[in-house]
């Protein structure tokens, strides 16, 4: 007797992938899933660059090359300080006048070339930092390489996001952006573990090979991603329309509400609190716990995995009716506990605690970023839609970059105090400089809770149907930074 086939069994690999992949329902007839996934490949190149800049290179420069932590923090902060110009890049790609009829492809291509150029010269610039004779030249070259890489991947990511918005139907757009953010985190995890494995036995030659290999992969991956994605249409590249209100007018109207100003303040404090450790976590693992380059690079993978978990938890919580700001507050609480775990990993000499803390920081940042972004999307239902999202991204990125720089300067200042004859030096250990920064981060996250607390439970204007971002299936209008 023949058994009837199960009706709910997947009929093909594509259907199985559709069921398992988060936000796979972002696909549509005009933008099928294979094409959408191919387009998201540019996120892998951005993920590789992020892992190199925030994960591998800061540890290598501090521990192996002996570069001052403040200089490393400044270099890592450069790409984030470029992030507020993403709104300008997006505007330029909107109004780009191309004889070929492309708006987004030229920006993705030139962004990829800048990213390639920055990564190509980066390893040699870093090796120059090792010798005192060429330190100044190395510092200038390293700053130029970090700036090129940062401008490149921000340009690529912004134009790529705009292309996603162009191709996806309006009802699928937020889900498509969310899928691209998931692919960014997956790319960061994959890159962290591969780069960490290759650099398990660190040599200068391997460092050059890894960074320049990432440069070549950037071009290959991004060309595959944008191949035949944007149709040529000269009619849409005729430039911007006159008569638009000025930025200052829109900004003054936006911040007239005290609630908006307080929300931006809370976003800035929280972003600085989470980001201060970006230049310190891997050197902390290498210098205090004695972890290898490959092992400390794995910390970035743990952080990315935690961010992915936080992102998924955010989607489930918001689907169940959570207040976005309550979700952001939960992220701050998770972050406080994660920094406590990282702080005690040194005295206990427990690498597993450090990995758990890195993953907890990622979870907390994911909850905080998505919660505040959804609140900004809620504010964006007015005429200042683009300004609300732009303000969210600019404040978060700028304060994160400032936090990274301050964290590096503070760590080196405390280390300099330890080498002096000051009475406080007798009570200090090697981990005191790092611990001081982590304690300050905990204080900043507590201040962020105090700033965001009065905003929780705010009675929004009733919105129904498609007008309310919280009434739609969970998605994003911008990438959390």
- The domains found in the chain, sorted by start residue, are 31-236 (1.20.1250.20), 247-459+466-481 (1.20.1250.20)
Torsion, CA 222, CA 197, CA 74, CA 422, rounded to 10: 170
User: What per-residue confidence (pLDDT) applies to 383?
Assistant: 46
Greater pLDDT, 60 or 245: 60
Q: Does residue 424 have a pLDDT over 70?
A: no
Six-digit token string for 345: 């990993």
Mean per-residue pLDDT for 447-453?
90
Question: What is the 8-class DSSP label of residue 27?
Answer: -
Kindly state the percentage of the chain with pLDDT values over 70: 73
Please say whether the beta carbons of 297 and 192 come within 8 A.
Answer: yes
Q: What is the average pLDDT across 456-471?
A: 52
Tell me how far CA of residue 93 lies from CA of 86, 304, 447, in angstroms: 10, 29, 38
What CA dihedral angle connects 318, 319, 320 and 323, to 10 degrees? 20
For residue 450, how many C-alpha atoms fall within 13 Å in the half-sphere facing its CB? Answer: 7
Q: Which residue has the higher pLDDT, 478 or 127?
A: 127
Joined together, the tokens standing for residue 264 give 């931006």
> Averaged over 135-158, what is the pLDDT?
86
CB within 8 Å of 421: residues ≥ 6 apart: none
> What is the DSSP secondary structure assignment for residue 423, as one 8-state letter?
G
The better pLDDT of the pair 213, 470 is held by 213
CA distance 6 to 23: 25
- pLDDT value of residue 265: 87
Residues 40/179, Cβ–Cβ less than 8 Å: yes
233 or 272, higher pLDDT: 272
Query: pLDDT: is 472 or 358 the higher one?
Result: 358
Tokens standing for residue 302: 């743990």
Contact predicate 403/276, CB 8 Å: yes
Contacts of 14 by beta carbon, 8 Å cutoff, 6+ apart: 33, 34
Per-residue pLDDT at 159: 81
pTM of the model: 0.78
CA distances from 445 to 274, 339, 369, 407 (A): 8, 10, 13, 14
* Residue closest to 65 by CA, chosen among 203, 221, 246, 226: 203
Give the three-class secondary structure for 198.
helix
**DSSP 3-state of 380:** coil
pLDDT at 331 over 90: yes
**Residue 25: band (very low, low, confident or very high) from pLDDT cuts 50, 70, 90:** low
* Distance separating alpha carbons of residues 260 and 396, to the nearest angstrom: 14
Instruction: Give the pair of three-digit tokens for residue 120.
Output: 């190509």
Average pLDDT over residues 427-456: 85
Q: What is the pLDDT of residue 253?
A: 61
Higher-confidence position of 421 and 102: 102
- 308 vs 26, higher pLDDT: 308
Mean pLDDT value across residues 422-451: 79
pLDDT at 462: 43
């Amino acid at each position: 007797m023949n058994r009837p086939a199960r009706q709910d069994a997947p009929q093909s690999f594509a259907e199985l992938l559709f069921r398992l992949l988060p936000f796979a329902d972002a696909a549509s007839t005009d933008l099928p899933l294979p094409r959408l996934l191919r387009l998201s490949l540019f996120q892998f190149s951005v993920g590789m660059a992020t892992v190199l800049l925030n994960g591998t290179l800061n540890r290598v420069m501090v521990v192996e090359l002996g570069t001052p932590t403040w200089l490393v923090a400044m270099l890592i902060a450069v790409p984030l300080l470029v992030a507020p110009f993403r709104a300008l890049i997006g505007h330029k790609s909107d109004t780009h006048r191309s004889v070929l009829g492309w708006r987004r492809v030229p920006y993705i291509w030139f962004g990829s070339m800048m990213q390639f150029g920055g990564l190509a010269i980066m390893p040699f610039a870093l090796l120059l930092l090792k010798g005192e004779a060429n330190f100044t030249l190395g510092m200038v070259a390293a700053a130029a390489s970090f700036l090129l890489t940062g401008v490149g991947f921000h340009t690529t990511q912004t134009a790529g996001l705009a292309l996603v918005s162009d191709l996806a139907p309006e009802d699928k757009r937020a889900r498509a952006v969310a899928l691209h953010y998931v692919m960014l985190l997956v790319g960061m995890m994959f890159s962290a573990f591969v780069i960490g494995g290759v650099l398990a036995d660190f040599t200068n030659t391997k460092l050059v090979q890894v960074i320049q290999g990432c440069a070549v992969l950037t071009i290959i991956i991004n060309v595959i991603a944008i191949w035949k994605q944007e149709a040529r249409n000269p009619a849409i590249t005729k430039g911007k329309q006159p008569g638009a209100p000025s930025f200052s007018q829109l900004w003054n109207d936006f911040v007239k509400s005290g609630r908006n100003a307080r929300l931006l303040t809370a976003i800035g404090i929280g972003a600085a609190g989470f980001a201060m450790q970006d230049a310190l976590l891997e050197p902390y693992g290498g210098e205090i716990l004695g972890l290898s380059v490959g092992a400390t690079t794995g910390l970035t993978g743990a952080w990315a995995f935690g961010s992915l978990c936080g992102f998924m938890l955010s989607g489930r919580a918001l689907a169940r009716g959570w207040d976005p700001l309550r979700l952001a507050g939960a992220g701050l609480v998770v972050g406080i506990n994660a920094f406590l775990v990282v702080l005690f990993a040194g005295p206990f000499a427990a690498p597993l605690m450090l990995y758990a803390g890195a993953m907890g920081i990622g979870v907390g940042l994911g909850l905080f970023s998505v919660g505040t972004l959804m609140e900004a999307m809620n504010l964006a239902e007015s005429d200042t839609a683009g300004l609300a999202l732009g303000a969210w991204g600019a404040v978060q990125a700028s304060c994160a970059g400032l936090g990274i720089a301050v964290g590096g300067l503070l760590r080196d200042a405390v280390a300099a105090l330890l080498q002096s004859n000051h009475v406080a030096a007798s009570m200090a250990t090697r981990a005191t400089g790092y611990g001081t920064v982590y304690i300050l981060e905990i204080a900043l996250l507590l201040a962020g809770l105090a700033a965001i607390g009065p905003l929780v439970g705010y009675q929004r204007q009733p919105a129904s149907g498609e007008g309310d971002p919280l009434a739609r299936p969970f998605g994003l209008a911008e990438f959390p930074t």
